[in-house]
Copies of this chain bind each other. A is one copy, B any other.
Amino acid sequence: MDINKISQVFEDFQIPEEPTFVSDHADFLMNYVIPNSVHLSAPKYIGHMTSALPYFMMPLAKVLIALNQNVVKIETSKVFTPLERQTIAMLHNLIYANSEAFYRNHTHEADGALGLFCSGGTVANLTGLWLARDRILGRKTKQTVDKVGLWRSMQAHGYSDLVVLVSDKGHYSIKKAMHVLGLGSESVSVVPTDKNHHIRLDILEDRIKELRKQNVGIMACIGIAGTTESGSCDDLLAMAELCEKYEQDGDPIHMHVDGAWGGPTIFSNKHKQKLAGIERARTVVIDAHKQLYTPMGAGILLCKDPKDVKAIQHSAQYIIRKGSHDLGKFSLEGSRPGMSMLLHSALNIMGKQGYEFLIDTGIERAQHFAQMIKEHKAFELITEPELNILTYRYVPKKLRGKTEQLDNQDSVNRLQVSLQKKQRSMGVSFVSRTKFYVDKYKQDLNVLRVVLANPLTTEKDLEEILDEQATYGDQLSK
């Protein structure tokens, strides 16, 4: 059903006076909701960052709802507090691999946290930048933001402005987070990328020097481990070195890594080198509902130093009292579900080897798909898959082999949009689209985007998707 037609079913704005039989409402869900939802777990839906879940998530979700714990405090969650802390420790160890003594001291420590479980990557990025803002504004004086507000605190610390540095491929949540935090878009110092979508390190270094001269505080330098659009990874090692080189008073620039998508690549012995340097980041974001295969609603902020969260601590008389082990002391959110149980279960059930298999398979399949595209005359590969994401576009018959001679790519650009919409409306398969600057053409291009995270997607599926797209493309460009 078309979305506008579906909307008509959801026009009524009044809560019914009288109760309805559960069976009647179940019929409604069966007739209108389930068939009109998106088949995100279908092997041919390869355009989203949400794919299939392991089968054991469904019964576990039922248990989770039955228990309906609230992890804001121990009184409403008990075992879920140590369980969440252990889950965070497991991921912390995956990234930072500290000593046994370190985890023995800090995993269940009341006065710190190895990380924070959030409702998603946006809240995790926001929390990371909140923490970075309040750390840099708590160094020299006690005029912290939570006491005197942003501007007075900046003045007390001698900053004329405060910025984050991130490449032009940064997720939109970075700008949104800065906006929420009271810093304008000018506070997001966008660094250009090279043709592989990696942050330009030379420009980054120049920018740091320039900002230092202007007395602008660098709140954080953000590395991306898997850009949303093409799955590219910044050179995190080089970024960490820059952050350390330009330290002030012994404090390196706060390095934050947005690994919402690519963080779990660390599971792969073959590919983890692509994230080298991540272990030197002060904070790292990983989305569990992406490549850790939990249901929607789980983003994680990891903190290299468990004491960093004290910058954003809160307390009240009826909850999260001072000295308590309550998780709500440090979280942006208050009442929260025990989602960590699902991640904890997945980590245990699938194990490192299970995740390694999933990561390796996705990357291999993306490499194979890239090869298929290169060999197919109707398509042009735009970005090679660094992880399991790649972009390409359809080329109309009359322009094959000649697209480089076009000054104006407008008609080809429009074609990608209509092709993608056509494919989406047919409902058999799904590929997403985006738009970015393509070095080869010296302009912004619309491209088709594929994310290969569903282990059930076969080579045959990929062939059929290309055939389907070629057919639509040929029809639309006639």
Contacts and interface: CB of A to CB of B under 8 A. Distances in A.
A203 interface: no
Contact of A40 (B48, B59, B69): B69
A347 interface: yes
A453 to B, nearest CB: 13
Nearest to A355: B15
A318 B48 CA distance: 11
A58 B62 contact: yes
Interface in A78-129: 78-83, 85-86, 89-94, 100, 103-104, 107-108, 119-123, 126
A317 B445 CA distance: 11
Interface stretch (A235-243, A247-255, A366-374, A428-436): A428-436
A33 to B, nearest CB: 5
Contact of A6 (B82, B354, B436): B82
A187 interface: yes
A74 B295 contact: no
Contacts of A180: 126, 130, 180-181, 332
A383 interface: no
B337 A296 contact: yes
Given A50-B68, A70-B48, A148-B186, A353 B17 contact: yes
Interface stretch (A171-179, A190-198, A395-403, A465-473): A171-179
A29 B22 CA distance: 30
Given A176-B332, A352-B15, A149 B183 contact: yes
Residue in A92, A152, A316 with the greatest tally of chain B CB atoms within 10 Å: A316
A37 B351 contact: no
A331 to B, nearest CB: 9
B175 A15 contact: no
The copy count of this chain in the complex is: 2
A296 B336 contact: yes
Interface residues on A, range: 35 or more
Contacts of A56: 22
Contact of A77 (B38, B82, B325): B38
A12 interface: yes
A418 interface: no
Interface-central residue, A10, A77, A228, by most chain B CB under 10 Å: A10
Contacts of A40: 67-70, 76
Contact of A79 (B25, B32, B57, B337): B32
Contact of A334 (B62, B149, B173, B332): B173
A315 B172 contact: yes
A294 to B, nearest CB: 9
Contact of A351 (B17, B296, B436): B17
Contact of A86 (B10, B122, B181, B185): B10
A214 interface: no
Interface of A: 3, 6-7, 9-22, 25, 28-29, 32-34, 36-38, 40-41, 47-50, 53, 56-70, 74-83, 85-86, 89-94, 100, 103-104, 107-108, 119-123, 126, 130, 144-154, 161, 171-173, 175-176, 179-187, 228-229, 287, 289, 295-297, 312, 314-320, 325, 332-338, 341, 345, 347-355, 424, 430, 432-436, 449
17 contacts: A3-B78, A3-B82, A16-B348, A29-B345, A38-B75, A40-B69, A47-B75, A48-B70, A61-B62, A62-B62, A75-B430, A119-B297, A120-B334, A148-B186, A151-B154, A172-B334, A287-B335
